[in-house]
């Protein structure tokens, strides 16, 4: 049986894979939005990891999940800002 974190992890992988395919077909703005969405879901996954780590013994400590939450949140903000800026061709 899949738990909530497993379903979120599958969603993250699908969002990232779709974004990478779209970059290949030169759909950068849509790809950036999908990456921002993927990192937003990854932030939620990490927050759930903090709660999961506090309720179980063994495994990664809650501090590990807090660091993942910070990194995923920063990446989500970065890609959302990148998607909102007009595309410049060099």
What's the CA dihedral at 15, 52, 69, 23 to 10 degrees?
A: -10
Question: How many other C-beta atoms lie within 10 A of the C-beta of residue 15?
Answer: 20
Q: Answer whether 45's CB lies under 8 Å from 4's CB.
A: no
> Which residue has 């800026």 as its token pair?
85
> Does an H or E element contain 90, and which?
none
Name the pTM for this structure. 0.85
Give the number of C-alpha atoms closer than 13 A to the C-alpha of residue 24, restricted to the C-beta side. 6
* pLDDT, block means (10 residues), the chain with 90 residues: 86 96 91 96 92 80 90 95 76
């Amino acid at each position: 049986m899949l738990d909530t974190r497993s379903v979120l992890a599958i969603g993250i992988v699908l969002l990232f894979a779709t974004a990478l395919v779209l970059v290949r077909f030169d759909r950068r703005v849509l790809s950036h939005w999908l990456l921002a969405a993927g990192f937003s879901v990854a932030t939620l996954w990490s927050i759930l990891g903090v709660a999961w780590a506090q309720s179980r013994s063994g495994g990664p400590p809650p501090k590990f999940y807090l660091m993942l939450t910070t990194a995923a949140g920063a990446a989500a903000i970065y890609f959302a800002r990148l998607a909102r800026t007009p595309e410049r061709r060099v």
